[in-house]
Amino acid sequence: MAENETNQEDQTTTGGDSKTYRGPWGHIVRGMWRTPLGMFGMVLTTISITLMIVGVIVEILGIVHNPYVGIITFMVLPGGMIMGLSIIPLAAWIRRRQYHKYGIVKEHLQINLSDHKHRSFIVGFIILTIVNITVLVLVGYEGYHFTDSPYFCGMVCHDVMAPEYTAYQRSPHVKVACVECHIGSGASWFVQAKISGLRQVMAVVADNYSRPIPAPVEHLRPARDTCETCHWPDKFHGKKIKIFNHFTNDDQINPEVNEMALHIGGHNPQTGDFEGIHWHVSKDVEVSYLAVDKKRTQLARVRVKRPDGTEEEFIKEDIEVPEDEELEWRIMDCIDCHNRPTHVYDMPDEVVDFGLLSKKINPEIEGIREDSLIALQREYTSREEAESQIGEHLLDLQKLRSGEQVQKYEEDIRKASEYLVESYLNNVWPKMNVLWGTYSGHLGHQYYDENGFGCFRCHDEEHISESGNYIPMDCDQCHDEPE
């Protein structure tokens, strides 16, 4: 067959039948679909572009809610289309390189616009190129928004990101896209984030990612570039009333109510001074610190630059600075206190106390607070095990107290169990080593004695400067009783 084809092509190049003469362009175009490589390129391109169009329609109409459909549509198929379009000319070039094997004279490729075949070819090539570019641009645009969506961030690597995504969905920032805080505007941070994302994807594929995800996140964009696009410290001032309700095992009905007025501070419109809590991030003051641990709970030194240009450094003598490690001074910003601004996790006592306050847990059931805390904090090997056993465990604890009480309040105990299960699933992932208290917050100092998180990292009266000044521990600086 090859010999017949060769003889026929020889005839066309040596003055044979003009009806069979194809010329150099004819040989190339014919070679695209007469060779396995060329056929593969055309089939790959056609299938990819067809499935991309279908995938975009499905995504726009919301017919299918699956992150992997988006990955295939916006990441895999465009790569297949580009590969197919690259293979087609490669197959033609290889075909032309093989002409000498059959003794075919390789004529020079020419474009003759006076030849209607050449004109038709050029017009067809331009139309196909416009179609391909249009499809790639549309898919690329939709793909850009897809990869920047919270759905993509939270659901593609669902095992890894499930804790953070779940906390995000019940946070005050749920209407703010992840990229607005983690990346922000600008091409440079976008590129850095995507490169970092590739490393994270590789870690997920290789199953060597950290469990739990380390906090704080390293190399995060400064909060002044992200948080302060919405929250402007210059406009903070005055006080904010905060109410804390806390029950005890001895009194499940009447909560201990603690009201305090937080000195939000910031720019005082009357005096022009920066004051209160947000003095730490005012534009006229720069507070920086040197932490000796990755969680930033052990602050060996604190440095303050004041508006008049003076600088003072406070040192805590009992925190040793390692000489063999290169530590970096960090300029204090929003997330040094608001370290869980969106991904907030509850503590067991907060969950149970809110349940009692909202009557999701019936406070009239004797011992329900203590038993709820025990059931919540019991060690479960998986979320599935917790979901199936928390209710039964709570019921068993109640039976130990009083069988008559269980009969009387069995329905309320079941409702309390459902609330506890929901709370557990919102806060604990044993597979990721995310347990109660794994991610603590620096706001306030409620759990400082347990894990070292909070205001007292600096405000302990133990950070002392050379002049004898120290960082005070005066409660009235940040809050007092409401007037």
User: For 64-83, how does the pLDDT look when each residue is reduced to its tens digit (9 = 90+)?
Assistant: 777 778 888 888 889 898 99
Residues in CB range of 311: below 8 A, 6 or more apart: 303, 304, 305
The model's pLDDT over 316-366, given as tens digits with 9 standing for 90+, comes to 999 999 887 888 999 999 999 999 988 999 999 999 999 999 999 999 999
Nearest residue to 358 via CA among 350, 348, 370: 350
* Calpha distance 72→59 (Å, rounded): 11
Burial bucket for residue 263 (CB in 10 Å: 0-12, 13-18, 19+) = buried
Please report, to the nearest 10 degrees, the dihedral formed by the alpha carbons of residues 171, 173, 175, 176 taken in order.
Answer: -140
pLDDT bucket at 109, cuts 50 / 70 / 90:
low
Mean pLDDT of the region 416-435: 96
Tell me what the pLDDT averaged over the chain comes to.
85
- Going from the C-alpha of 428 to that of each of 270, 400, 431, 436, the distances in angstroms are 47, 27, 9, 6
DSSP state of 72: I
* Calpha distance 52→151 (Å, rounded): 20
Nearest residue to 279 via CA among 260, 300, 263, 255: 263
Mean pLDDT of the region 192-213: 82
pLDDT at residue number 94? 78
- For residues 380 and 435, the answer to whether their CB atoms sit within 8 Å is no
Q: Under DSSP, is residue 279 helix (H, G, I), strand (E, B) or coil? A: helix
Max CA pair span of the chain: 109
- Going from the C-alpha of 83 to that of each of 36, 75, 435, 478, the distances in angstroms are 15, 13, 46, 61
DSSP strand pairing (329-331 vs 299-305): unpaired
What residues form DSSP beta bridges with 242? Answer: 260
* Calpha distance 22→19 (Å, rounded): 8
Give the residue, 192 or 304, on which the prediction is more confident.
304
What residues form DSSP beta bridges with 329? Answer: 290
Q: Under DSSP, is residue 289 helix (H, G, I), strand (E, B) or coil? A: strand
* Calpha distance 378→393 (Å, rounded): 9
Nearest residue to 156 via CA among 74, 212, 47, 82: 74
End-to-end CA distance of the chain: 100
DSSP state of 222: P
* Calpha distance 477→264 (Å, rounded): 10
Give the residue, 235 or 164, on which the prediction is more confident.
164
The model's pLDDT over 80-106, given as tens digits with 9 standing for 90+, comes to 989 988 888 888 777 767 666 666 556
Helices of type H across 178-270: 178-182, 187-206, 223-226
DSSP state of 158: H
Q: String of b and e for 321-336 (b: at least 16 CB within 10 Å)?
A: eeeeeeeeeeebbbbb
Q: How many residues does the chain have?
A: 483
Taking the domains of the chain in order of start, what are their residue ranges? 2-147, 150-213, 233-339+455-480, 348-432
pLDDT at 208 over 90: no
pLDDT at 216 over 50: yes
Nearest residue to 291 via CA among 171, 442, 435, 406: 442
* Calpha distance 418→331 (Å, rounded): 44
DSSP states of 422-443:
HHHHHH-BGGGTB-TTSS---S
Helix 36-61 crosses helix 23-34 at what angle (to 10 degrees)? 70
Whether the link from the prior residue into 24 is cis, omega within 30° of 0, is no
pLDDT at 269 over 90: no
